[in-house]
Structure 1
Amino acid sequence: MNTLIVDDEPLARARIKRLLEKHHNITVLGEAADGQEALRLCQQLKPDLVLLDINIPVLTGLQVAEQLNLMAVPPAIVFLTAHPEYAINAFQLAVGGYLVKPVSEQALANTLSQLGKLNRVHIEKQQPAYIRYQLGNTIRRIALAEVFYCMAEEKYTHIYHTGGDAIIEHSLKSLAQHYPSTFMRIHRKIIVNRSRLECLSTANGLHYLKLRDCEALLPISRREFKTVKLALSSIS
């Protein structure tokens, strides 16, 4: 689990990092000392987990968490603080956990254990049923139920939905992993909404997928053909 540590105290960061070394499934990607740096590193590194102190400069941990939760695929957040009175506000923003300083080895281990038990389907159920993206200075969202398919194009991903299309920076892999019960891969560059599967068609020896209420015929790779055929047979 790729992890970012955010705390304005170097000794506190060093202690957390030392405790994490005992967990072989954890990789520390980086450290941040304030809220602005934390957001920048989250956009750059896209960690799975952020260990986030609440009392940090520039932006508080609570403000950072609010921004992280606007990401299309937000990381899990575990708050770190010496002030237990923040617990109510913290739990409204983070499903991962809440650790009171000084963080003990056992408390950290317990929290990481609980995170490890959350598979991607469970995480998806805890997230809102839509994908967020930014257009200019505005945060917009697309309901998962309205998505037809997503297609990788150079460094970006196009989401085609009932209201048109949108461009986001998250990869197909991250969307497929975060919403496993919604999306399935049919091609190296395409994932589709499982609930929109309709039928197969063949032309010139190539296979295509038709989605409900979508005009596009989407190419299916040879590698994914059996998976798509099986998925269609299960709904027929």
Structure 2
Amino acid sequence: MRALIVEDEIPASEELSYLIQEHSRIEVVDCLEDGLDVLKFLQEQEVDVLFLDINIPSLDGMMLAHHIGKFARKPYIVFTTAYKEHAAEAFELEAFDYILKPYDEKRIAAMLHKLELTFKRDQEQTENMDNRMQMENQAYRRAEGHLSANDHGAQRGYDTREDQVRSGTRQAQQGLEQRAVSSSSPTHTTDNLTGTRINLLRNDNIIVTDSADIYYAEAQEKVTKVYTKNGEFTMPVSISDFHSRLPQDAFFRCHRSYLVNLAQIREIVPWFNNTYLLRLRDLEAEVPVSRGKVKEFRQLMRI
């Protein structure tokens, strides 16, 4: 395991680092004092656990934990503080533990033992999930291939029926005319379907979805969570693979772990280090724009 200590008092930082070394196999990769420095560090590197003091400069530990809670891969958080009154809020943030100063060596040792056991168990569960998702990915690709090879006619019929509901008889007739024209060109029909619709997987069923109904997607380990107005889907593909299936002018890869439908952005909120958080229509979620994507995002949004 890799750990980051966030503590602005050097004696406390050194004592905790010593106790971690004595009672665990956890590697302390760095010790930082400032909340904003921690966010910058975590943009570049990943750690498995954060030992986090609450009273630190720039961004206090509670606010820092709120921000970290938005990460695709969240480290365990162990709060280390002299104040009891923040314990309830800490566990609302799903903290792994809450350690009071001055440190008690037996308490620290017990916490570290529990942490390593939990990490090992979670790693095993992740490996099992990876194996299951690989099987689902194979099933998804087989099913998707079957749809592409055999069901384009049924798919076009689905499109036409939905157009009738959405647009009335006149537009439905136009859709039928377009079907008749495009039927002589199978390749053109396939391109049209790929550009406007995408197949999402739920319980081994393929749900044909209008790409405009996708709000955003988030990478989580080796799968991609897709959020639409009709619910959440788990896709057994990487976020890069999923992005390649979407209309490129409508979806922006705003972060290594996120992509967003530009048409669904409701509000652009300035965040730390000249980056942004994106608030979306109809959803409570906030999607980050990473520092490396800010320039391109500003150009797209004409900021």
TM-score by length of structure 1 reads 0.57
**CA distance in 1 between partners of 2:51 and 2:84 (Å):** 16
Is the counterpart of residue 142 in structure 1 residue 226 in structure 2? yes
Measured at CA, do residues 72 and 100 of structure 1 come closer, stay the same or move farther in structure 2, by a change above 3 Å?
same
Q: Could you list the per-position Cα deviations for residues 145-186 of structure 1 after superposition, in whole angstroms to 9, with x for gaps in the alignment? A: 51323337xxxx44459987774525xxxxxxxxxxxxxxxx
Q: How many residues are paired up? A: 154
**CA distance in 2 between partners of 1:123 and 1:108 (Å):** 26
* Alpha-carbon offset, residue 98 of structure 1: 0.3
C-alpha RMSD of matched pairs (Å) = 3.1
* Alpha-carbon offset, residue 104 of structure 1: 1.6
Is the counterpart of residue 38 in structure 1 residue 122 in structure 2? no
**CA distance in 1 between partners of 2:8 and 2:48 (Å):** 21
Contact 1:149 1:159 in 2 (8 A): no
Instruction: Name the residue aligned to 2:144.
Output: none
Instruction: Name the residue aligned to 1:233.
Output: none
Contact 1:4 1:50 in 2 (8 A): yes
1:120 to 119, 122, 125: 122
Measured at CA, do residues 132 and 53 of structure 1 come closer, stay the same or move farther in structure 2, by a change above 3 Å?
farther
Instruction: Name the residue aligned to 1:177.
Output: none
Select the structure of larger CA radius of gyration.
2
Instruction: Name the residue aligned to 1:63.
Output: 63
* Alpha-carbon offset, residue 38 of structure 1: 1.4
**Secondary structure of the structure 2 residue equivalent to 1:108:** helix
Measured at CA, do residues 76 and 122 of structure 1 come closer, stay the same or move farther in structure 2, by a change above 3 Å?
farther
Runs of 4+ in 1 over 6 A off after TM superposition: 121-124, 161-166
Contact 2:20 2:112 in 1 (8 A): no
Q: Any unmatched runs of 5+ in structure 1?
A: 125-129, 134-140, 171-236
**CA distance in 1 between partners of 2:32 and 2:125 (Å):** 25
Instruction: Name the residue aligned to 2:201.
Output: none
Measured at CA, do residues 77 and 161 of structure 1 come closer, stay the same or move farther in structure 2, by a change above 3 Å?
farther
* Alpha-carbon offset, residue 123 of structure 1: 8.2
* Alpha-carbon offset, residue 64 of structure 1: 0.5
Q: Any unmatched runs of 5+ in structure 2?
A: 127-215, 220-224, 258-303
Contact 2:5 2:32 in 1 (8 A): yes
**CA distance in 2 between partners of 1:4 and 1:95 (Å):** 15
Instruction: Name the residue aligned to 2:77.
Output: 77
Measured at CA, do residues 122 and 87 of structure 1 come closer, stay the same or move farther in structure 2, by a change above 3 Å?
farther
**CA distance in 1 between partners of 2:123 and 2:232 (Å):** 16
**CA distance in 2 between partners of 1:13 and 1:145 (Å):** 41
**Secondary structure of the structure 2 residue equivalent to 1:58:** coil
Moved more, 78-87 or 105-114: 105-114
Instruction: Name the residue aligned to 1:151.
Output: 238
Contact 1:150 1:160 in 2 (8 A): no
Measured at CA, do residues 131 and 57 of structure 1 come closer, stay the same or move farther in structure 2, by a change above 3 Å?
farther
**CA distance in 2 between partners of 1:108 and 1:131 (Å):** 38
**CA distance in 1 between partners of 2:35 and 2:106 (Å):** 27
Instruction: Name the residue aligned to 1:137.
Output: none
* Alpha-carbon offset, residue 44 of structure 1: 2.0
**Secondary structure of the structure 1 residue equivalent to 2:25:** coil
**CA distance in 2 between partners of 1:131 and 1:78 (Å):** 29
Contact 1:81 1:99 in 2 (8 A): yes
Matches within 5 A, 1:1-236: 1-118=1-118, 119-120=121-122, 132=218, 142-143=226-227, 146-151=233-238, 157-159=240-242, 167=253, 168-169=255-256
**CA distance in 1 between partners of 2:49 and 2:29 (Å):** 10
**Secondary structure of the structure 2 residue equivalent to 1:117:** helix
**CA distance in 2 between partners of 1:123 and 1:66 (Å):** 25
| Structure with higher helix content | 2
Measured at CA, do residues 159 and 70 of structure 1 come closer, stay the same or move farther in structure 2, by a change above 3 Å?
farther
